[in-house]
Structure 1
Amino acid sequence: MDTKEKLEKIVKALDSKKAEDIEVLGIRDLTVLSDYFVIANGTSTTHTRTLADEVEYQLSQSGIEPSGKEGHNGSNWIVLDYSDIIVHVFYKETREFYQLERLWADGEHLDVEELLK
């Protein structure tokens, strides 16, 4: 599965569980960390955990497991590291506090609607 297919699967998984404000940022020209950030938020810590679980489940169905996972216990900010894509699932207020989109504003903003087709 290539990176674009993974992005589509991640965005669709988040959308299927009613994630809010899904954003995809291309960051390959800005850092060696990853090629893309996918950022979304849930409306509660339970919703946040559910969103991260769904992404992990959908990718595992294709044989793709995260190389790293952080924050699952607190559920305010869960990070799933798929090497070329890092998924950030926030609780709404936590996302507003950290404002990753502002920190990575120079990244390329991908059209989420295109990925949902």
Structure 2
Amino acid sequence: MTEQEKLELIIKTLDLKKGEDIQAIRISDLTILADYFVIVNGTSNTHARTLADEVEFVLSQKGIEPQRREADTGNTWIILDYADIIVHVFYKDTRNFYKLEGLWADGEQVDISGLLIKE
């Protein structure tokens, strides 16, 4: 699976599970951490955990496992590290507090509108 296919699968999975305000930021020109950050929030801690679990499940069905999974005790920020793509799943209040998009504002916003289900 190519990096682009993996990115699209992650975004579609988050969208199907009703993740809010999904964003993809290309950061490969800024850091060696990863090529992309995917940022999303859930409506509750349980929803955030469900989003992360579903991404992990769907990718594992394709034989792709995260190198690391980190979560705080309240599931308000969960990180799935797939080396080239790092998925940040937040509870809404936690996302608003850390403003990760602002920290990586020099990255390139990826247009994902064609991947999202129109309601």
TM normalised by structure 2 equals 0.95
> Offset at 1:112?
1.3
**SS at 2:25 equivalent:** strand
Deviation sequence 1:25-62 (CA, Å, 0-9, x none): 00000000000000000000000000000100110010
Instruction: Tell me which residue corresponds to 1:104.
Output: 104
Structure 1 stretches of 4+ moved >2 Å: 114-117
Instruction: Tell me which residue corresponds to 1:65.
Output: 65
- For the aligned residues, what is the CA RMSD? 1.2
Tell me the amino acid that sits aligned with residue 52 of structure 1. Answer: A
TM normalised by structure 1 equals 0.96
**SS at 1:32 equivalent:** coil
- Residues paired across the two proteins, number: 117
Q: Which runs of 5+ in 2 are unaligned?
A: none
Structure 1 segment 1-117 matched on structure 2, within 5 A: 1-71=1-71, 73-116=73-116
**SS at 1:22 equivalent:** strand
Q: Which runs of 5+ in 1 are unaligned?
A: none
Distance 2:98 2:30 in 1: 19
